[in-house]
A = this chain, B = another copy of it.
Amino acid sequence: MTSDAVPVVGIVGAGQLARMMIQAAIPLGIGVRVLAEHADDSAALVCPNVDIGFPNNARHLREFAAKCDVVTLDHELVYLDALAEIEAAGGVVRPNAGTLRYAKDKFYQRTEFKRAGLPVPAFAELLNFPAIEEFAAQHGWPIVVKSQQGGYDGRGVWILDDAEEARDFFDATAGTGVDLMLEQYVRIERELAVLVARRPGGETVTYPVVETVQRDGICHEVIAPAPVSTEIAERARALGEQIAGLTGAVGIIATELFVVAGADGDELWINEVATRPHNSGHFSIDGCQTSQFANHLRAVLDWPLGPTDLVAPFVVMANLLGEDRESLVPRIPRALDVPGGVHPHLYGKEVRPGRKIGHVTALGDDAEETRARAVHAAAVLTGRAT
């Protein structure tokens, strides 16, 4: 990076995370370039510097990286070997392929976390049918099956209730070539997330621990601060920071945690990690002094990080999940009219049922009222309420 020139951050992928990074880049005076698959991708709509290309194409990644001072990512579905090559050739990729592997390869993540003494559910590779029976004998039914690579928002995760379901599942998936793993089923009291921003040298800032309210494996609401004891929040925070260091994260790393009732009180178990800005941190755009997107950019540029304090006692984010294929536009004024005020964030994506097309954030002095306001505004925007 030549020190006098405006630094250019390249983002591989042009989804809503890239879009929100672009919003955060404008005040910092940073140049942003995106590698988009389509010219109408969420971030490509708001970026003057768009390259069309694919994140699993080594040549596209190389040519893109050559135009950027630092490369970062909108998602993990990227050809890691190509990123490693770019880095070996002197390019700056943050987070790098070593860190990304924790998010991309769940079996690797579980193995490494277990080795480090971190609290993960019991797990095993699904190599053959007897492996399922053996795992169930040890940990009981139901058991969870996950694809080792990819999968998010509930995709690539199955719950098997008994040996019969397991047999059907195994027969259906055997020979598909998808690497699967088994995991102990955990009875969840609630789910938390903790976001850490980390610079290359190890300096970190941590966001307030939040509760994520999930339905069918999809996050619907995020509540900041999480309604848990200070002690649980502190443990969550410590786990997030330990994982940031262990994975060598640069930028935002999100750790999703299960709260589980144990014999000696609540326990925390690690669910997933995402080595990039994360849905559980969208509340920070309106709700914190420095958003996760601003701190992600600052971290990947190795610039000092900003304070993460909440700017209101309670901040609630509700995702907008498409209900139909109707345009949201006529509903925007109605959502803006919700008493108390909300902050809509629309991603410029075509509406499809179940698709994340935006989110809305509410700030307030009362936990219940703030949550109700965010949820109501989300219902208005998705057409479930007027």
Among the 9-residue stretches A164-172, A206-214, A300-308, the one with 4 or more Cβ atoms under 8 Å from chain B is A300-308
Choose among B31, B46, B289 the residue that contacts A26 (Cβ–Cβ < 8 A): B46
Contact indicator B5/A329 (Cβ below 8 Å): yes
Residues of A332-383 whose CB lies within 8 A of B: 332-333, 336-337, 340-341, 343-348, 358, 363
A29 at the interface (CB under 8 A from B): yes
A30 → chain B closest CB, angstroms:
9
A347 to B306 alpha-carbon distance, docked (Å) = 20
| B332 A28 Cβ-Cβ under 8 A | yes
Whole-angstrom CA separation of A358 from B326 in the bound complex: 40
Q: How many copies of the shown chain assemble into the complex?
A: 2
Interface of chain A residues 281 through 295 with chain B (CB within 8 A): 285-286, 289-290
Report if A311 contacts B (CB, 8 A): yes
Contact A341 B306 (CB under 8 A): yes
- A349's closest neighbor in chain B, by CB? B29
Which B residues are CB-close (under 8 A) to A341?
289-290, 306-307
Q: Is the CB of A6 within 8 A of B345?
A: no
B4, B326, B333, B363: the one within 8 Å of A289 (CB): B363
Are A7 and B329 in touch, CB under 8 angstroms? yes
Chain A, 2-57, CB within 8 A of any chain B CB: 3-7, 19-20, 22-23, 26-29, 31, 44-48, 50
B348/A29 in contact, CB under 8 A: yes
Q: Beta-carbon contacts of A303-319 to B below 8 Å, as 1s and 0s?
A: 11111000110000000
Question: Smallest CB-CB separation from A298: which chain B residue?
Answer: B336
Given A289-B363, A312-B311, A327-B4: A332 in contact with B347 (beta carbons within 8 A): no
Bound-state Cα–Cα, A186 to B307, Å: 43
Q: Which partner residue on chain B sits nearest A205 by CB separation?
A: B341
Q: A311-B311, A332-B29 are in contact. Are A348 and B4 (CB under 8 A)?
A: no
| Cβ A344 vs Cβ B312 within 8 A | no
The distance from the CB of A123 to the nearest CB of chain B, in whole angstroms, is: 39
Q: Which residues of B are found within 8 Å of A340, using beta-carbon distances? A: 307
User: Interface size bucket, A side?
Assistant: 35 or more
A159 an interface residue at 8 Å Cβ cutoff? Answer: no
Inside 8 A of A307's CB, which chain B residues have their CB?
340-341
Interface membership of A201, Cβ < 8 A? no
A262 is an interface residue with CB less than 8 A from chain B: no
Cα A285 to Cα B312 with chains together (Å) = 16
Given A29-B347, A347-B29, also A303-B45 (CB < 8 A)? no
A289 partner residues in chain B, CB cutoff 8 A: 286, 341, 363
- The closest CB in chain B to the CB of A285 belongs to B27
- Give the shortest distance, in Å, between A135 (CB) and chain B (any CB): 45
A328 at interface by CB-CB < 8 Å: yes
Is there an interface contact between A4 and B346, defined as CB atoms closer than 8 Å? no
Query: What B residues does A328 contact at CB under 8 A?
Result: 29
**Shortest 7 CB-CB contacts between residues of A and residues of B:** A29-B346, A311-B311, A4-B327, A304-B337, A307-B341, A27-B345, A304-B336
Residue contacts A-B, CB under 8 angstroms, 24 given: A4-B330, A6-B348, A20-B26, A22-B26, A22-B46, A23-B26, A26-B46, A27-B343, A28-B332, A29-B329, A29-B344, A29-B346, A29-B347, A29-B348, A44-B48, A47-B48, A48-B50, A290-B343, A303-B332, A303-B333, A306-B336, A306-B341, A307-B341, A311-B312
